[in-house]
Structure 1
Amino acid sequence: MKTLLLFFALGLTTLFTYAQDCLGIKFKPGTSYEMLSYSAKDKPTGRVVYTIKEVTSEGGSTLINIVMQSFDDKGKPAPEMAVKYTCTGDELIADLSGVVLATNDAMKDMEVRIKTNKLVYPKQLSAGSTLADGELEAETYNKDTKMMDMSIKVVNRKVESKESLTTPAGTFDVYKIGSDINLANRMMGIPVRVSFRSVSYRAADVLFDIKTETYNKNGKLKGYTVLSKLSDK
């Protein structure tokens, strides 16, 4: 199995080489975030490094282009992926097209058409508040023949509490956000569905979640990731 990376053109933008502030978050080219992943039994399962490559301005919004590099538990790297965020000044929008679409060699050159693609964080988070659902819908085509439908829905997003959290990257004031993730693929008419619970811990001034826990539908912890390094170059 390999991955199919989706790239989107930014259009005509003005490139800034200095840091941009938006929603209290500093976006600076060269800043990197390392996330370590563990099993429910605290066994290392891999790591992911996100690096901000470009910070641009378009239509009053700040666009953040990021390269994501993942490694397995042996340190073997996977192909790099593109991730994009948009900060409007009122909300931070994650471009879910950076999600890896699992595929095989026969599908690596197929066309992927995005229908819906959005996950939003508001300017202010507060305990007890409800966040808007997120969704990615995509179709995969071999020439003009549709081969697969893919759907990722992030629902029941609620800010459960505010607390302090310590990781190898430091101590942060975070908001605990619970959500349900529903994945659905239909390949050649055959449906595959997976659902799980996600609990993330988000700081107001850091782009990525400080920690994320994944639970199965019965509430059993399956694994978690933590921010281990945050470098501001």
Structure 2
Amino acid sequence: MRKLFLIAMCLSLWAPTALAQSNCSKYYPMVEGASMTYTSYDRKGKEDSTVEYKVVDVQNQGGETKATMSMEMKPKKGGALTSSYELICRENVVIIDFKSLMNQQMLGQFGNAEVDITGHDIELPNDLEVGQELADANVTVSGSMGGAFNVNMTVEQINRKVEKKESVNTSAGTFDCYVIYSDTKTKMMVANQTFSSRVWLAEDVGIVQQESYNKNGKLMGSMKLTSFSK
């Protein structure tokens, strides 16, 4: 269950993109009905799960474009995870709701506790360049389960930067990408975990590849684009 928790969290942090059909966004989906499928692999390169994203709703209002995305991850051994989150495109920047760092399965671990979720949204500007530093993102879940037992969980995405440009090949094709690096720190009760990620992001396509590494820099898992449609 802990492994699924980390996979789902990492996927939420790098909410994938579809074919951009809006002048507001180069990388994130703003077209209702767009869908994309990814295959996830474990550290040994064996298929671990498939993940499907869909744009289920798009609204334009007050100079903003807002899209609602759904996610369904199907592990090879069963126990599907589902989630949804919002993307907002505003003034040449795409903003991902910080609550997308969580999902219902993650929050379900807190049982019936009343929790408060706060944080700083994930931002990705349309204009990327090598060496560019991107704003940090974080989310904190806090509350009480009654008595002396308190809920306290924090997820931070830090050291976000555009490392380089690189061509990458998947079964869906060959793409020219920006490679974006970040570190993720999680703290849940008394347990702490740190891992890093790299994402290969292509204009008009979105994420085509993602890799996650442990604190020693060893590969924990990867994800590649299998198909997309609009």
Is TM more than 0.5 here? yes
Provide the secondary structure at the position in 1 that maps to 2:197: strand
Q: CA deviation at 1:103?
A: 5.6
More strand as a share of residues: 1
Change (3 A) 1:39 1:90: same
1:1-233 matched pairs, under 5 angstroms: 20-25=22-27, 27-74=30-77, 76=78, 78-98=80-100, 99-100=102-103, 102=106, 107-142=110-145, 147-186=150-189, 191-207=190-206, 209-232=207-230
Provide the secondary structure at the position in 1 that maps to 2:99: helix
Amino acid at match of 1:229: S
2:30 and 2:66 in contact (8 A); partners too: no
- Residue aligning to 2:13: none
2:22 and 2:30 in contact (8 A); partners too: yes
Q: CA deviation at 1:77?
A: 5.2
1:139 and 1:146 in contact (8 A); partners too: no
Provide the secondary structure at the position in 2 that maps to 1:80: strand
Amino acid at match of 1:198: S
Q: CA deviation at 1:137?
A: 1.6
Matches of 2:98 and 2:224, distance apart in 1: 20
Matches of 1:140 and 1:211, distance apart in 2: 36
Number of positions where the alignment pairs a residue of Structure 1 with one of Structure 2: 210
Provide the secondary structure at the position in 2 that maps to 1:97: helix
Matches of 1:49 and 1:102, distance apart in 2: 18
Matches of 2:88 and 2:203, distance apart in 1: 16
Amino acid at match of 2:156: K
Change (3 A) 1:168 1:177: same
Amino acid at match of 1:124: D
2:98 and 2:119 in contact (8 A); partners too: no
Provide the secondary structure at the position in 2 that maps to 1:102: helix
CA deviations over 1:194-225 (Å, ceiling 9, x no partner): 00111111113234x22111111111111101
1:24 and 1:204 in contact (8 A); partners too: yes
* Percentage of pairs with the same residue: 30
Structure 1 unmatched runs, 5+: 4-18
Amino acid at match of 2:192: R
More helix as a share of residues: 2
1:33 and 1:50 in contact (8 A); partners too: yes
Please provide the CA RMSD for this pair. Answer: 2.4
Structure 2 unmatched runs, 5+: 6-20
Provide the secondary structure at the position in 1 that maps to 2:121: strand
Matches of 1:65 and 1:59, distance apart in 2: 17
Q: CA deviation at 1:140?
A: 3.7
1:38 and 1:224 in contact (8 A); partners too: yes
Matches of 2:147 and 2:66, distance apart in 1: 32
Matches of 2:141 and 2:79, distance apart in 1: 26
Q: CA deviation at 1:144?
A: 9.4
Q: CA deviation at 1:45?
A: 0.6
TM-score, with normalisation over the residues of structure 2? 0.82
